[in-house]
Structure 1
Amino acid sequence: MVKRSIPLLLLLLTSCGHPDGVMTPVAVSASTPATSKVEMLVATTREPSGDPATLFNGERSSKPHLTQISVSLPPKREAGTVQWPKRLPPNPATDFAVTNVQQIDTVAQGREWFGQHVNGGHALVFVHGFNNTYEDSVFRLAQIVHDSKMEATPVLFTWPSRAELTAYEYDKESTNYSRTGLEQALRTLAADPNVKDITIMAHSMGTWLAMESLRQMGIRDGHVNSKIHNVILASPDIDIQVFAKQFVEMGEPRPKFTIFVSQDDKALAVSSFITGRVSRLGAINPTEEPYRSKLEKAGITAIDLTKVKTEDGLNHGKFAESPEIVQLIGQRLMTGQTLTDSKVTLGQGITAVVGGTVTNIGTVAATAVAVPATIIEQPPLAKRRKPLPADETLGGDLKPQTLTQ
């Protein structure tokens, strides 16, 4: 059954359904109904395409590039959706549309832009996932920022994805290629006196890049930069044991970690198939042993979105496409608030399990669990008869004493 479903999932993953080449700026006329605007700074390790309609392609650049981009969002749209144009040029009255593009050549110019767009000193750095074009990531970040109503200055880090399903390995290596670029971008941002704190939000394969960059920073300095307060990993496409090592090796103190997981994530099912049926962090059940009881001391919050329904047929982008969840990101997680007090009111509801206590909030549709940092690999469900004893779940040279560091 799994083998038969893989071709269909691969077909779904390759379906884009929107025109390419939307980065050429368009004007918003005075007669256009009131639109919203999101302005962002974009750092990339992609190679310039030489075409203003795309700006950057999926190949790797020898040096990073910075660009200032403004995106207009139409007045009538459902929260959680990216309203792509059906034809070019985009119509700002009905479509997402780029209204301004400006290349930034120096760090000083980047700091000047941030100083002009500072929002409470909070910076959000978004790292996209596998199979994304430059424009895909720009429009997705614009949607997240607008729908979450977060008070933060958006910074996009986009790495060289060829946006082709058959380029999975190329994309994975591109994240490795880009980890120093992201680390340097984070260091530059943290050195800006206008920046008080930084939240990193990474999706899918981009979570690997985020974790590798933070691990690299921790190895250099002994710990992650103190301005990086929050790390949000959505549908993390990471081997569970590797995540454990990355987390430990970034040193202490660490940022506050939140992961969004879903056991019905079809894209992660494909990733697991491609990588030799190795379980992915984004597909765990955080209430299941040994995850909860063995790892809860690390204080990572896992939000289970399995029961949350969106229009995403792959169940891979729920964090951005569920209005309630994206608002949770903007209003609570961005500011480091907990999810277990009575002020949390979501239409779909969550159940929070933190430190061994359970708080029901509305109708159960998701589960937030404070789980530890060093997630332990389990055998595939088909081979699992019962939870393994503690001393049998450790992999490689990961020792018991490192689990609660």
Structure 2
Amino acid sequence: MAGLRVPSRRFLLVPAILCPLTGCATRAEHVFQPLALAASDASQVDMLVATTRKPSRNPGQLYTGDRGTAISLNRIVVSIPPDRNRTIGKVQLPLLDRADPEKEFAVLDVGKVASEQQLLEWVRKNRNGKRQVLIFVHGFNNTYADAVLRFAQIVHDAGTDAEPILFTWPSRGDVFDYLYDKESTNYSRHALEDLILQATKSPDVADVTILAHSMGAWLTAEALRDIAMRNKTIPAKVRNVVLASPDIDIDVFRRQFIEMGPRRPHFTILTSTNDKALQVSSLLSGGVGRVGGTDPTPYAPVLKELGVSVIDTSAITSSDPLGHNAFADTPDIVRLLGKRLAGQSLAGGEVSIADRFGVSAANFAGTAARLAVAAPASVISPKAREILKRELSPDGGQIVDGQISY
């Protein structure tokens, strides 16, 4: 039919490639209702969640994968099963409507942050001695519940006492919706900028670390670039940025770096040439290598010039069929690094595990690198990954009834 374009065969093949690898698994439902009762010896993570998703009419879902018109803020408390009932780096999803906190991750409390005063109260209640904040931005193929439970697991297993803030953008949580997810990151870029700037303006925050995974790394790099170009600099409080398996064109990443200006935070990148999800993304992008799936050796001079630390995890055997979480889903490594972080703040020196685990380019500089390694890559669902580009910039606003209106 004249004028009708048939989708590229490359795009049609992606779900066929990824589904057998991931199993196209279903998710736990009704995570946020009914609320569970705390187990006596379970740990708890009290997090702030900012989202650009559309609210759901189902209280057990809380938010959908559709795009909202504002940033919604919630305080969520997640219970982590006792260590005797779980493996580091894993999330035990609830099997029934009501989770069992002894054996499963469970939501204990959900509250709306409906005013600036409530936000300030949460920050002051949860701040550590060094007033540190950890912002996590998830990747492709994640529901709201996926992002919340994974971030709770990261915070717990890393042993960090920084204030945990999750930014979750409108992912449909479906391997067939990678193009929708891609555009949703662009839709949410200004909202992430606003969150970062609000955090750095608070007198109760002195140090911000951003941990971003896969497609979320693209969103994070773009948000920081826009902040720098608009404000002539990135706030000094944003000291460290960790990009785990970033799905970004290597040339685009260099351009983003240049446009961030000379006063950039320290960047740490986790890469693997065995990342099948990023191989698919490269296929979709005309064969251009992704930052997270490329052998960093040829780019070493450029990365050194930019002040970037690279952790090549290609030598690590992963239980993840996509190889997307190869480094951090290895319990022995997570335990080792978790012990060094347990009970500590994010501040610290360097960690080198190259000799012990055969990981090349493992020069971990500063706090962000230590956190990246300890953050058990459960860093999100090991399904598929993504692509990038495009632009949408709504104007910022203030918190009203739990939302920051554009």
TM-score band w.r.t. shorter chain: 0.7 to 0.9
Gaps of 5+ in 1: 341-349, 352-360, 372-405
Alignment partner, residue 393 of structure 1: none
Matching residue's letter, 1:244: R
Report the CA distance shift for 1:254/1:157 in structure 2 as closer, same or farther (over 3 A).
Answer: same
- Aligned 8 A contact 1:237 1:281 in 2: yes
1:148 to 152, 158, 164: 158
- Aligned 8 A contact 2:36 2:106 in 1: no
Report the CA distance shift for 1:308/1:302 in structure 2 as closer, same or farther (over 3 A).
Answer: same
2:278 to 231, 244, 268: 268
Alignment partner, residue 110 of structure 1: 119
1:293 counterpart = 2:293: no
* 1:1-400 map, 5 Å: 7-13=16-22, 15-28=24-37, 32-75=39-82, 76-120=85-129, 121-286=131-296, 288-289=297-298, 291-323=299-331, 324-325=333-334, 328=337, 331=341, 334-335=346-347, 337-340=349-352, 350-351=353-354, 361-368=355-362
Matching residue's letter, 1:317: N
- In structure 2, C-alpha distance between the alignment counterparts of 1:144 and 1:134, rounded to whole Å: 16
Aligned with 2:203: secondary structure?
A: coil
Q: Deviations over 1:9-37 (max 9, x none)?
A: 343346234422212252326xx451110
- Aligned 8 A contact 2:320 2:326 in 1: yes
- In structure 2, C-alpha distance between the alignment counterparts of 1:170 and 1:92, rounded to whole Å: 34
Aligned with 2:54: secondary structure?
A: strand
Matching residue's letter, 1:107: E
Gaps of 5+ in 2: 1-9, 366-406
Q: Deviations over 1:93-151 (max 9, x none)?
A: 11000000001112331121111111231100000000000000001100100001012
Deviation at 1:250, TM superposition (A): 1.0
- Aligned 8 A contact 1:260 1:303 in 2: yes
Matching residue's letter, 2:321: G
After TM superposition, the structure 1 stretch with the greater mean CA deviation from structure 2, 114-123 or 92-101, is 114-123
Deviation at 1:165, TM superposition (A): 1.7
Alignment partner, residue 7 of structure 2: none
Report the CA distance shift for 1:368/1:259 in structure 2 as closer, same or farther (over 3 A).
Answer: same
Deviation at 1:200, TM superposition (A): 0.2
Report the CA distance shift for 1:114/1:370 in structure 2 as closer, same or farther (over 3 A).
Answer: closer
Percent identity of paired positions between Structure 1 and Structure 2: 43
The number of residue pairs the alignment matches comes to: 348
Matching residue's letter, 2:35: V
Alignment partner, residue 383 of structure 2: none
Alignment partner, residue 387 of structure 2: none
- In structure 2, C-alpha distance between the alignment counterparts of 1:263 and 1:250, rounded to whole Å: 27
- Aligned 8 A contact 1:25 1:100 in 2: no
After TM superposition, the structure 1 stretch with the greater mean CA deviation from structure 2, 107-116 or 146-155, is 107-116
- In structure 2, C-alpha distance between the alignment counterparts of 1:193 and 1:327, rounded to whole Å: 34
Aligned with 1:22: secondary structure?
A: coil
Matching residue's letter, 1:92: P
Q: Deviations over 1:295-314 (max 9, x none)?
A: 42222111011122332221
Report the CA distance shift for 1:327/1:42 in structure 2 as closer, same or farther (over 3 A).
Answer: farther
Aligned with 1:367: secondary structure?
A: coil
The TM-score with structure 1 as length reference comes to 0.80
- Aligned 8 A contact 2:36 2:98 in 1: no
- In structure 2, C-alpha distance between the alignment counterparts of 1:224 and 1:48, rounded to whole Å: 31
- In structure 2, C-alpha distance between the alignment counterparts of 1:336 and 1:293, rounded to whole Å: 26
RMSD: 2.4
- In structure 1, C-alpha distance between the alignment counterparts of 2:264 and 2:348, rounded to whole Å: 13
Aligned with 2:41: secondary structure?
A: coil
Aligned with 1:144: secondary structure?
A: helix
- In structure 2, C-alpha distance between the alignment counterparts of 1:114 and 1:319, rounded to whole Å: 32
After TM superposition, the structure 1 stretch with the greater mean CA deviation from structure 2, 271-280 or 159-168, is 271-280
Report the CA distance shift for 1:279/1:334 in structure 2 as closer, same or farther (over 3 A).
Answer: farther
- Higher RCO (C-alpha under 8 Å, 6+ residues apart): 2
